[in-house]
Amino acid sequence: MTSSAWADALLVAVVLAPLATMVLAVAVAAPNHDQRWTIGGCAIAAMGAAVLLVSGQHPHVSRLAPDDVALAAAGATAFLAIGVRASARAPTVAAAVTVVTCGIASGSPGHPSTVGPVLAIAAAIVLLTLTHGPGRITIAALSTGAVVVAAGVRTGGHGGAAAVIIGVALVGIAASISTRRAINLLTPLALLLGLHVAPALTDTAQARWLAVALGVAGAGLALLRAIAPRGAAPALCAALVPWTLAAAVGPLSGTGVAARALAAGTVIALALGGPLALLAATPGGALLAYAIADGQGWPRPVLAVLVLATVFGLTQGHAGVTAARLRVVDVIAIAGGAWFVLRPTSWTWTRVAGLRAYSDGAALAVASALIAGVLVAMTGGRPATEPLASWMVAGEDQDSSPPARLGPGMVAATALTGLIAAALVRSARL
Amino acid sequence: MPRAALLAAAFALAVTSRGDVVVLTLLLGFGAARRASGLASALALTAAFVRWGSPALGAIAGGQAVLGPAGWTGSAAAVASAWCSAFALVFAAVSWPVAAATAPAPSRRDRRQRAPRTLAASVYPVAPFAIAAADVVVGPAPGGALALRVLASVIALVVTTLVARWRSLPLLACTSGALALLCAGLAR
C-alpha cells in the first residue's frame, strides 16, 4: 500500500471539491443556471481520483482509505456527474458527489467499509430526490434497495451477504434505468459495494442460486427492452448491472475475474448511453463467457441460456438512436471506452487475466481496419462515420422516467427510508 | 466504409487464426450489419469454442493441426457441431447491398436487367464468413494439413458467394448456429 502526503491531500480535494464549489457558488451569489461551478468541482474530483489511481497511491485520511476499485468508482461518480444532462445538473448533484465519494472511500487500509456505502446510498437518495430527477417508482425501488442492503449488512453471514447483493442490484438497476441522470451517480457506489461483499459468497450454494436469479433479472431487462414500446424501455446498460453482480458472487470458477471488467464496462456504457456503448462490456462479457464455457455443474447451462437471452434481447428491438451532440465529456468517455475494449489488461485495477488472444485479435483488427479504411478512402470511398456519434451517445431527449412532482410526502418518505437504513446499520459489531 | 473496414479486419483474423472468437464474432456481426448474421456467427463460433475448450482462434487451429480437422475428427456430436457451425457462417454471409439481399427474390427478367456486380464486390463481403467457416470445419494451423485448409477455404468461398447471391437465409443461419452449440455441448 503506497501512500504519501500529497496523495492524502489530493484525496481530501477529491472528496471536498464538488461540495466546496457549491459553497463557493453560493458565497459569490452565482446564478442558479450557472453550472460551471458544479462542472469544475466534479472535474477536479474526477481528475484527482484518476491521478491517484494511475500513480498507484492508496491514501489514508481519517476513516477514508480507498483501494484501487474505490478510486476508480470515485472518479467514475464525478465523471458521471459532469455528464448529467444540463437540465438536471443542479448544485445538489455536486453535494451528492461528495456524499457518494465519502461512502466509496470509507474504510481502513485493506478493509473497505460496508457501512459507509450503505449510509451514502441512503443520504444520496435523499439528496437526489431533491433534484426532481427520479420518478416515483425509481425512488421507491432505490429506497427499498437501501433498506434491503442495510438489513443485509446488519444480519451478516452468507444470508446477509446475499441480501446485500440483492439490495445493491435493486439500487444499481434503478439508478441506471435511464442515462445522463443525476441518479446514475448511485451506480458506481452500488457496484462497488457488491464487488466488496460478493466474494464472501464464492463457491457456495447461495452464490449459484443468486447468480441465476441475477441472470434472470439481466435477461429480463434485456428482453423487456426488446418488447417494450419506445420511451418506456429501460436503458441498455441496466441489464449489465445484474450480470456484474452475478459474476462477482462467483457461481463458477473464473467468473469473479469478469466482475470488475463488467463493472467498468457498465459505467462507461452508462456515461455514454448509446446502443454501441455496450461494446465497453466486451472484455467483461468475454471473460464471463469463458468462465461459463469452462464451468461445471448445473449453473453452467442455465447461465449460458440466460447470457444468450440477454445478448438476444440487447440486439433486438428498436435501437433507440436519437440525434446526439458530442460533448467533450463524451469524447473522453469514448476514448476511455475504446482504450478499455482494445487493451483491457492495461487497466490494472480490473485485474483481468487470460485475455491475451483477445488483445492480440483486437490489435490485429484495428490495424487491418485502419489499412482497409485508408485504401477505401484512397479509392474514392466516403467515410460514413458521422452516424457513429448517434449510436454511441444518448440524445438529450432520451428519457424513460418522467420527473416526479416533489411533495412534502415524497421528501418525508425518502428521508424516513434513509433513517431506517441508518438505524439498521447501527449495531455493536459495526 | 466502416463495414468494409470491419470485414477486412474479420478476414485478417480468420486467415491468420489470430485473436479470439469474441472479437471475430463482433467483427462479423457489425460487418454484416444484420442482427441475425451477428447472432448466427456468435452461436457458431461459441460452438467451436465449447468444442475445443479455448476461445483463441490459434488454439482452435492448433488443436486441429494435432488431432485432425474438426469436420471428421472426434465423436459424431463434435463432427456435427463443426459442420453446423460452418453452415451457420455460410448462411450468415450477406452480400452488398443489404436491402437487395433481404428483398423478395427478383424475377428472372429483373435479374437480367440488374446491373452486373463485379466479382470483387460479390466476394469481398462474404469472404470473412467463408474463411471462418473453413476455420471451424477444416482449419488446421501450419504443421497440420494446411493444404486441406486452403482447399476448404476456396470451396467455402465459392459456396458462400453463390449462396449469398442466391438469397439471404438468416433463419437457417441462426438454426444451424443453435444446433452447432447444442451438439458442442453434447460432445463435451
Query: For position A32, what pLDDT does the model report?
Result: 61
Average pLDDT, chain B: 85
* pLDDT (mean) for A107-130: 87
Question: Inter-chain contact A376–B5, Cβ cutoff 8 Å?
Answer: yes
Q: Which residue has the higher pLDDT, A391 or B41?
A: B41
pLDDT interval class at B129 (50, 70, 90) = very high
Condensed to tens digits (0 to 9), the pLDDT of residues A58-107 reads 898 888 889 999 999 999 999 999 988 776 666 778 888 888 998 899 88
Q: Report the alpha-carbon distance of residue A330 to residue A82 in Å, rounded.
A: 10
Contacts of B49 in chain A (CB under 8 A): 289, 293
- Residue B94 in this model has a pLDDT that exceeds 70: yes
| pLDDT > 70: percent of chain A | 83
pLDDT band at B44, cuts 50/70/90? very high
- Mean predicted lDDT score pLDDT of chain A: 84
Asked if B149 contacts B11 with a C-beta cutoff of 8 angstroms, the reply is no
> Among partner residues B8, B18, B35, which is closest to A372 by beta-carbon distance?
B8
Given a cut of 50, is residue A277 above it in pLDDT? yes
Residue A313 in contact with residue A278, Cβ under 8 Å? no
Interface of A with B (CB under 8 A): 279, 282, 285-286, 289-290, 293-294, 301, 308, 311-312, 315-316, 356-358, 360-362, 364-373, 376-377, 381-385, 388
| Confidence tier at A131 by pLDDT (50, 70, 90) | confident
The predicted pLDDT at position A198 comes to 92
Smallest CA-to-CA distance from A81 within A22, A138, A30 is with A22
Higher pLDDT pick, B145 / A287: A287
Task: Using DSSP, state whether A273 is helix, strand or coil.
Answer: strand
Task: Report the range of poorest mean pLDDT among A127-141, A236-250, A255-269.
Answer: A127-141
Lowest mean pLDDT among A133-137, A214-218, A322-326: A322-326
Residue A260: its pLDDT value, please? 93
Is the CB of residue A314 less than 8 Å from the CB of residue A276?
no
Average pLDDT over residues B148-168: 89
> Measured between CB atoms, does B52 come within 8 Å of chain A?
no
Do the Cβ atoms of A304 and B182 come closer than 8 Å? no
Using the predicted structure, report yes or no on whether residue A245 has a pLDDT greater than 90: yes
pLDDT of residue B100: 44
- B18 Cα distance to chain centroid: 16
Span A400-408, mean pLDDT? 51
**In this model, does residue A412 exceed pLDDT 60?**
yes
| Cα separation, B8 vs B19, whole angstroms | 14
pLDDT at B180: 94
pLDDT of B102 reads 44
pLDDT digits (tens, 9 = 90+) for A53-62: 999 888 988 8
Set of chain A residues whose Cβ sits within 8 Å of the Cβ of B18 = 357, 360-361, 364
How much is the pLDDT for A3? 73
For chains A and B, count residue pairs whose Cβ atoms are closer than 8 Å.
Answer: 103
Q: Using CB atoms, which residue from A289, A369, A382 is nearest to B22?
A: A289
Q: Is A406 left (phi over 0), alpha (psi -120 to 50) or beta?
A: beta
Where residue A336 falls among pLDDT bands split at 50, 70, 90?
very high
> Best interface-test mutation with B: which of A316, A368, A370, A390 has the largest number of B CBs within 10 A?
A368
ipTM: 0.84
Cell, residue A103? 461512502
pLDDT tops 60 at residue A318:
no
Identify which has the larger pLDDT, B114 or B147: B147
pLDDT of B183 strictly over 90: yes
Most confident of A269-273, A316-320, A377-381: A269-273
Contacts of A214 (CB under 8 A, 6+ apart): A165, A169, A242, A243, A245, A246, A249
| pLDDT at residue B66 tops 70 | yes
Residue contact B57–A376, C-beta within 8 A: no
Task: Report the pLDDT value the prediction gives residue A409, as an integer from 0 to 100.
Answer: 61
Q: Quick count: other Cβ atoms within 10 Å of Cβ B156? A: 25
For residue A357, give the nearest of B12, B39, B58 by CB distance.
B58
- A373/B5 CB distance under 8 A: yes
Smallest Cα distance from B109 to chain A, Å: 31
Span A161-175, average pLDDT: 94
* Most confident option among A127-131, A247-251, A378-382, B104-108: A247-251
Residue A229 has a pLDDT of 66
List Cβ neighbours of A92 (8 Å cut-off, separation of 6 or more): A127, A128, A130, A131, A182
* pLDDT-based confidence at residue B146 (cuts at 50, 70, 90): confident
Q: Give the whole-angstrom CA distance, residue A159 versus residue B121.
A: 60
A38 with A94: CB under 8 angstroms?
Answer: yes
The model's pLDDT over A337-389, given as tens digits with 9 standing for 90+, comes to 999 999 999 998 888 888 889 999 999 999 998 898 888 888 776 666 666 77
State the pTM of this model: 0.87
Q: What percent of chain B has pLDDT over 90?
A: 59
H/E stretch holding A312? helix A299-315
Q: Is B119 exposed, middle or buried (0-12, 13-18, 19+ CB in 10 A)?
A: exposed
Query: Residue with C-alpha cell 435477461?
Result: A219
The pLDDT score that the predictor gives to residue A430 is: 43
How far out from the chain centre does Cα B164 lie?
12
Which residues, listed in sequence order, are joined to residue A262 by a DSSP beta bridge? none
More confident residue, B173 or B113: B173
C-alpha span between A68 and A153 (Å, rounded)? 22
* pLDDT classification of A429: cutoffs 50, 70, 90: very low
- Judge if the upstream peptide bond of residue A387 is cis by omega within 30 degrees of 0: no
Mean pLDDT of B33-53: 91
pLDDT of residue A264: 95
